[in-house]
């Protein structure tokens, strides 16, 4: 029989080792899954993890890594601040949509005027939109002790309806021959979120994501506010004893994660996506939750986790196209990654001991 024994100290080695173990376990279990589907498991794993980086068409996929990883990292950084404090914003997808609508809306309002200040203004309104959307669950929680998990999640569906309404109504392209969707911002230089270095995939949103990583790292490790966040997550009563104001913390964490999700939405709509459309959102806000945990809620970890997740997305698409793997199998594969990570994570705080069965 085996027994779990709590370690006196969390193991440093395992804190770094668990993501790697989880990835290996996912590869094995995923390989078995692909085998059961009648595919060559080695080829499938290679297609997912190797081809996007070093395969024949890597020059095309590598920039995609940043394009897909950027918003994931940006949203996950915001979420991780709240998660660290035990404040669960599950509705980043909704804040992402609202940020995109607000940002794009401001840009389109100026069309066709060209001015340097349009894009910065769009960034500000995008962040504001996400922030405001996140303030709804925050204020309800603070005032009426509602559950932020439920409220933020429900607001995702509200945001989706709003998105549909916008693409069919207010923001619809007047020159679009009746098709749903806004004007394409790629054709509007003042509002276009272009690549900073051509062909690199590095647009302003990716840069913002990297800045957010640094900002979050400094906040958590060098600032009293970050310490308060960590303390609240570790021991809420000790945090209160230490003079942390829970109300302010809830407002800050939800507001920050909302603003970053809004930014991600705004950079996406003005760059890679180009326009507001009914199916604009692709689930970054939900995947970012996985990214946040995969990165152990640590800023640098999230940076790597975001890139890894982007890799499985791109690799998954290649595998779908080249090997004919079903989309559901790829989603399952991504789900396994989180599952194994959480399972192996136990080893950071516990060690497995072999015990002789004891008559009780």
Partner 1 sequence: MTGTLLKIEGLTKAYPGVVANDSVSFEIKYGEVHALLGENGAGKSTLVKMIYGLVKPDSGTMLMNGAPFAPPEPRAARASGVAMVFQHFSLFDALNVAENIALGMEQPPAMRDLAEKIRTVSEDYGLPLDPYKTVGDLSAGERQRVEIIRCLLQDPKLLIMDEPTSVLTPQEVEILFETLRKLTAEGVAILYISHKLEEIRALCDAATILRLGKNVGTCIPAETSARDMAELMVGTELQTPKSAGATLGDVVLDISGLSMPSPSAFGTPLRNIHLRLRSGEVLGIGGVAGNGQDELLLALSGEMRTAHDAVKLKGEPVGQLAPNARRMRGLLTAPEERLGHAAAPNMSLTENALLTGNTRRGLSSRGFLKWAKARSFAEEIIEKFDVRTPGPDNAARSLSGGNLQKFVIGREVLQDPDVLIVNQPTWGVDASAAASIRQAILDLAAGGTAVIVISQDLDELMEVADNFAALNEGRLTETRPTQGLTIDEIGLMMGGAHGMEVAHV
Q: Does 328 bind partner 1 (CB under 8 A)?
A: no
| Residue 17, Cβ density class (10 Å: 0-12 exposed, 13-18 middle, ≥19 buried) | middle
Give whichever of 65 and 239 is closer to partner 1, judged by the CB atom. Answer: 239
Which range, of 185-193, 218-226, 261-269, 299-307, touches partner 1 by CB under 8 A?
Answer: 218-226
In order of 67, 100, 325, 330, the CA distances from 41 in angstroms are: 28, 39, 11, 13
Q: Does 5 bind partner 1 (CB under 8 A)?
A: yes
From the CB of 301, what's the least distance to partner 1, in Å? 17
* Residue 5 neighbours by CB under 8 Å, 6+ apart: 350, 351, 352, 353
From the CB of 128, what's the least distance to partner 1, in Å? 24
Binding positions for partner 1, 223-242, rule CB under 8 A:
223-225, 227, 230-231, 234-235, 237-242
- Residue pair 75/264 in contact (Cβ under 8 Å)? The answer is yes
Give whichever of 53 and 218 is closer to partner 1, judged by the CB atom. Answer: 218
From the CB of 145, what's the least distance to partner 1, in Å? 14
Binding mask 68-87 for partner 1 (x = CB under 8 A): --------------------
Give whichever of 11 and 64 is closer to partner 1, judged by the CB atom. Answer: 11
Which residue, 65, 89, 64, is CA-closest to 76?
Answer: 89
From the CB of 127, what's the least distance to partner 1, in Å? 22
Q: Does 359 bind partner 1 (CB under 8 A)?
A: yes
Binding positions for partner 1, 7-66, rule CB under 8 A:
8-10
Give whichever of 231 and 261 is closer to partner 1, judged by the CB atom. Answer: 231
Which residue, 185, 195, 200, is CA-closest to 100?
Answer: 185
- State the virtual CA torsion across 283, 285, 291, 297 in degrees, nearest 10: -170
DSSP H/E element including 354: strand 350-354
Q: In angstroms, how far apart are the furthest CA atoms of the chain?
A: 82
Q: Which residues bind partner 1 (CB under 8 A)?
A: 5, 8-10, 222-225, 227, 230-231, 234-235, 237-243, 245, 353, 358-360
């Amino acid at each position: 029989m085996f027994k779990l024994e709590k370690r006196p100290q969390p193991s440093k080695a395992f804190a770094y080792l668990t993501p790697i173990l989880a990835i290996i376990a996912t590869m094995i279990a995923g390989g078995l899954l692909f085998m059961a589907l009648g595919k060559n498991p080695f080829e499938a794993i290679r297609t997912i993890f190797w081809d996007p980086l070093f395969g024949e068409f890597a020059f095309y996929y590598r920039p995609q890594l940043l394009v897909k990883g950027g918003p994931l990292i940006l949203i996950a950084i915001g979420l991780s601040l709240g998660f660290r404090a035990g404040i669960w914003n599950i509705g980043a997808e909704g804040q992402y949509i609202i940020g995109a609508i607000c940002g794009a809306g401001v840009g389109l309002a100026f069309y066709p005027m060209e001015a340097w200040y349009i894009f910065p203004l769009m960034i500000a309104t995008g962040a504001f939109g996400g922030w405001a959307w996140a303030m709804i669950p925050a204020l309800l929680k603070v005032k009426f002790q509602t559950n932020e998990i439920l409220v933020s999640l429900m607001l995702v569906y509200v945001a989706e309806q709003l998105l549909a309404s916008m693409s069919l109504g207010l923001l619809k392209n007047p020159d679009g021959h009746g098709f749903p969707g806004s004007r394409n911002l790629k054709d509007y230089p003042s509002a276009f979120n272009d690549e900073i270095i051509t062909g690199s995939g590095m647009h302003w949103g990716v840069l913002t994501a990297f800045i957010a990583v640094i900002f979050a790292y400094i906040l958590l490790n060098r600032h009293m506010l970050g310490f308060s966040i960590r303390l609240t997550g570790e021991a809420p009563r000790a945090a209160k004893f230490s003079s942390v104001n829970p109300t302010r913390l809830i407002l800050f964490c939800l507001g920050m994660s909302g603003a970053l999700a809004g930014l991600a939405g705004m950079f996406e709509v003005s760059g890679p996506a180009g326009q507001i459309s009914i199916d604009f959102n692709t689930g970054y806000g939900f995947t970012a939750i996985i990214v946040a945990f995969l990165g152990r809620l640590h800023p640098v970890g999230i940076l790597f986790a975001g890139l890894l997740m982007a890799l499985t997305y791109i690799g998954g698409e290649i595998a779908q196209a080249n090997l004919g793997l079903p989309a559901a199998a790829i989603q399952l594969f991504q789900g396994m990654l989180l599952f194994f990570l959480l399972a192996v994570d136990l080893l950071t705080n516990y060690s497995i001991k072999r015990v002789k069965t004891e008559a009780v």
